[in-house]
């Protein structure tokens, strides 16, 4: 589904990603692990069209998407949940969800069906449809931004550190929801600092270090590389 070949990403003179290649097959849950500053968020941004590669290519379902805009990528089935976890605080839960469906707002039947599906996956949101999003807890806001991203009906969901800063019991909940989403058919590329937990639910993993892929493999294969522990466990 997704193939990244030798991308370089920069912010002006700063090289955030030097040389990253990776692939995600349809239906897979793949994680991107690595310490702070490794280039994980930048890699996700490049897939979502927010950051253009200075070198290399990004291919989605056989199409070179390297120069497409974020809007064009949403229409091609890519949705990103950034690490900033931004909700529209003064809008209700329901209004936040409707904004996620903006790209297909005229397809009201399909949007209503996805909304229903999200309420089944995230029952807590159903209880709070009319509540301003700003009044939700951190864990609830995380559920809302994931559900909002799902409202565009993506085939590829990019999740940037969904467990960051949440209490352990909430973190477990979020991971359960990611598993449920994956079962619903969406392909997921997950960025996590919580490597142990992330590798428990993933099919394959990439470890980034200083803007390059340091390792790729199943959880068992990564675990064998004791030299990598300090990198992906961030300690």
Ligand X SMILES: Nc1ncnc2c1ncn2[C@@H]1O[C@H](COP(=O)(O)OP(=O)(O)O)[C@@H](O)[C@H]1O
205 near ligand X, rule: CB under 6 A = no
**In sequence order, what are the beta bridge partners of 63?**
60
Residues 6+ apart with CB under 8 A from 74: 103, 152, 154
In terms of DSSP bridges, do strands 29-33 and 14-24 run parallel, antiparallel, or are they unpaired? unpaired
- String of contacts with Mg ion for each residue 16-55, x by CB under 5 A: ------------------------xx--------------
Q: What's the start-to-end Cα distance of the chain, in Å?
A: 33
Q: Which is nearer to Mg ion, 40 or 85 (CB)?
A: 40
Q: Which stretch binds ligand X (CB under 6 A): 10-18, 98-106, 181-189, 225-233?
A: 10-18
Q: Which of 4, 16, 65, 219 binds ligand X (CB under 6 A)?
A: 16
Q: Which is nearer to ligand X, 41 or 114 (CB)?
A: 41
The interface partner of residue 34, options being Mg ion, ligand X, none and the CB cut-off 5 to 8 Å by kind, is ligand X
φ, ψ (nearest 5 deg) of residue 220: -65, -40
Q: Which is nearer to Mg ion, 40 or 173 (CB)?
A: 40
Q: Which of 2, 4, 40, 145 binds ligand X (CB under 6 A)?
A: 40
Q: Which is nearer to ligand X, 7 or 157 (CB)?
A: 7
165 near ligand X, rule: CB under 6 A = no
Residues 169-178 as b/e (b if ≥16 CB within 10 A, e otherwise) read ebbebbbebb
36 near ligand X, rule: CB under 6 A = yes
Q: Which of 11, 106, 130, 185 binds ligand X (CB under 6 A)?
A: 11
Of 71, 47, 74, residue with least CA distance to 58 = 47
Closest approach, Cβ 73 to ligand X, in A, equals 18
Closest approach, Cβ 38 to ligand X, in A, equals 4
Which two three-digit tokens encode residue 193? 């600092």
Q: What span, in angstroms and rounded, lies between the C-alpha atoms of 93 and 98?
A: 9
H and E: helices and strands count for the chain? 10, 10
Q: Which of 2, 4, 22, 34 binds ligand X (CB under 6 A)?
A: 34
Q: Which long-range contacts (CB under 8 A, 24 or more apart) does 223-230 make?
A: 223/199
Q: Which residues bind to ligand X, rule: CB under 6 A? A: 11, 14, 16, 34, 36-42
């Amino acid at each position: 589904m997704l193939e990244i070949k030798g991308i370089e990403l920069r912010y002006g003179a700063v090289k955030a990603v030097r040389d990253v290649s990776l692939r995600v097959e349809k239906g897979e849950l793949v994680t991107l692990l690595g310490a702070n500053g490794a280039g994980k968020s930048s890699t996700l941004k490049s897939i979502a069209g927010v950051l253009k590669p200075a070198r290399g290519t990004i291919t989605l379902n056989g199409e070179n998407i390297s120069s497409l805009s974020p809007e064009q990528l949403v229409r091609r089935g890519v949705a990103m949940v950034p690490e900033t976890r931004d909700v529209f605080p003064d809008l209700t839960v329901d209004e936040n969800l409707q904004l996620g469906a903006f790209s297909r707002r005229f397809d009201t039947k399909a949007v209503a069906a996805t909304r229903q599906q999200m309420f089944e996956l995230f029952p807590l949101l159903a209880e709070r449809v009319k509540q301003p999003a700003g009044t939700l807890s951190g864990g609830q806001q995380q559920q809302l931004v994931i559900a909002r991203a799902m409202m565009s009906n993506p085939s590829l969901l990019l999740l940037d550190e969904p467990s960051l800063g949440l209490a352990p019991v909430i973190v477990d909940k979020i991971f359960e929801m990611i598993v449920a989403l994956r079962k619903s058919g969406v392909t997921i590329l997950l960025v996590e600092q919580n490597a142990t937990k992330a590798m428990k639910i993933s099919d394959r993993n990439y470890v980034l270090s200083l803007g390059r892929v340091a390792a790729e493999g199943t959880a068992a294969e990564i675990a064998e590389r004791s030299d990598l522990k300090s990198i992906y466990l961030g300690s």
